[in-house]
Structure 1
Amino acid sequence: MALRLLLDSADPSAWAEWLPSGLFRGVTTNPTLLRRAAQPCNLEHLAGLTARALELGVQELHLQAWGTDLLACGRALAKLAPGRIWVKLPVTRAGAAAAGALIAEGCPITFTACYEPAQVLLASALGADYIAPYLGRISDQGRDGHAELTRMQRIVETLNREDPDGPAAAPLRLLVASLRSPSDLARLAAEGLDTFTISPAIAEALFAVEPTLAAAAQFERDAAGT
């Protein structure tokens, strides 16, 4: 599968800065990111944010459902831009119940807050498009986050493998979240992971390679004959 990058931000100014670059397929958000960006977490405001994201050309906008009725909230979010909204749900019993109903209605789903390899099985069984493991937060627990995500990827590859005697399984993808540095991207990509949501800070860091910047500056000086 081809590389997919999504921008992990609820800040429309960050969207306007990075989405025109062509690097990002879309945007992922959640109530925590909305709070940090001083963006209200309500349907009316999310409708406006959705319109802005569509203006900037997103193919996918991942919005997280909240509240006591995740199904109703998920349905309302999906209606903001059918076919462009992925409803995010936590890997809980309530989240799974809402996901099952939404998937049956044709709504694409991203499971979030994944910490354990076994949770990948739940996402696959329900037919979700994505499940988002939290690399940095897994490592914060004293575990080897890279090894855990590599294990999850092997599970995904096995579950997605085409059955020679039947149709292919749903193409579940790991959507790696909670990355802390560009080196996390490279290390996991070498293990076959190909879908990441990264913060604007990580995006900036990908271009902040000092030898590359120095070489580019030297090219300009040489072109000017100075």
Structure 2
Amino acid sequence: MEFIIDTVNLEDIKEAVEYMPIVGVTSNPSIVKKTSPKDFFKHMKEVREIIGKERSLHIQVISKECDEIVKEAHRILEEIDDQVYIKVPVSYEGVKAIKKLKAEGVHVTATAVYDLMQAYMALAAGADYIAPYVNRIGNLGNDPMELINELSNRIVQDGYDCKILAASFKGVQQVRDAFNYGSQAITAPVEVLKQIFANPSIEKAVNDFNSDWYDVYGEGKGICDL
């Protein structure tokens, strides 16, 4: 089970990796726009410095043609490092690019997945991660969890070395469902993951425990004060 954050905001990344078991960072052009760094590569290097080599970094290309996608992938790998996962949308040209990049040994995250057959194409092309867009699929009237479940079954059945990286979330319920239906990883905005801890019952439970403790040992007297 992998928690990955979908942001390039440096302060959000610093906080997330300090507080939560975050194993990676994803981005796309729309995510980049939210922060709008003047020097894209310098900024992404800073992201890498924060998360280290032990966490994955996923960066998306913007070209639509295979040869240009591959060129952009090479530039990203040269500017940052060869451990970056190149995010490639699963279009007709994108699948061709995934095949070429995997033949070179490049890490690839297949993204913009809306349909199971799209996912199967990316799987057969050798993608390391496949990212179905959960909320967007649901908004189109389809069932993203059915896609995740069937894709997960196919990965296990055929023995593929690939992980489902569910993306596009609006709330915690979608994240929980994605894991429960077979996704090995999710990528979500930091604010969505922080909603996990926004339950007032958690704070009430802690306050009740503290109150009972202070009734025994005195107000303000903690464990370290004994």
TM-score of Structure 1 vs Structure 2, range by shorter chain: 0.7 to 0.9
**What are the within-5 Å matches in structure 2 for residues 135-174 of structure 1?**
135-160=134-159, 169=160, 171-174=161-164
Give secondary structure in 1 for the equivalent of 2:177: helix
Q: CA RMSD in A?
A: 1.9
**Partner letter of residue 18 of structure 1?**
A
Does 2:73 match 1:74?
yes
> Number of aligned pairs?
212
Give secondary structure in 1 for the equivalent of 2:79: coil
Does 2:132 match 1:133?
yes
Question: CA–CA distance in 1 between the matches of 2:72 and 2:165?
Answer: 22
Name the one with the larger helix percent: 2
- Asked if the contact 1:110–1:130 (Cα under 8 Å) also holds between the matched residues in 2, the reply is yes
Q: Which residue of 2 aligns with 1:163?
A: none
Change (3 A) 1:32 1:157: same
Does 2:66 match 1:49?
no
Larger radius of gyration: 2
Q: Which residue of 1 aligns with 2:7?
A: 9
Question: CA–CA distance in 1 between the matches of 2:19 and 2:48?
Answer: 14
Q: Which residue of 2 aligns with 1:32?
A: 30
Q: Which residue of 2 aligns with 1:114?
A: 113
Instruction: State, as a whole percentage, how many aligned pairs show the same letter.
Output: 23
CA shift, 1:186, in A, is: 2.2
Q: Which residue of 1 aligns with 2:224?
A: none
Q: Which residue of 2 aligns with 1:19?
A: 17
Give secondary structure in 1 for the equivalent of 2:25: strand
Unaligned stretches of 5+ residues in structure 1: 161-168
Q: Which residue of 1 aligns with 2:88?
A: 89
- Asked if the contact 2:60–2:88 (Cα under 8 Å) also holds between the matched residues in 1, the reply is yes
Q: Which residue of 2 aligns with 1:164?
A: none
CA shift, 1:22, in A, is: 4.6
**Partner letter of residue 7 of structure 2?**
S
**Partner letter of residue 184 of structure 1?**
Q
- Asked if the contact 1:130–1:174 (Cα under 8 Å) also holds between the matched residues in 2, the reply is yes
**Partner letter of residue 174 of structure 2?**
D
Question: CA–CA distance in 1 between the matches of 2:167 and 2:33?
Answer: 18
- Asked if the contact 2:86–2:109 (Cα under 8 Å) also holds between the matched residues in 1, the reply is yes
Larger CA deviation: 28-37 vs 142-151: 142-151
Larger CA deviation: 74-83 vs 108-117: 74-83
Q: Which residue of 2 aligns with 1:193?
A: 183
CA shift, 1:194, in A, is: 2.2
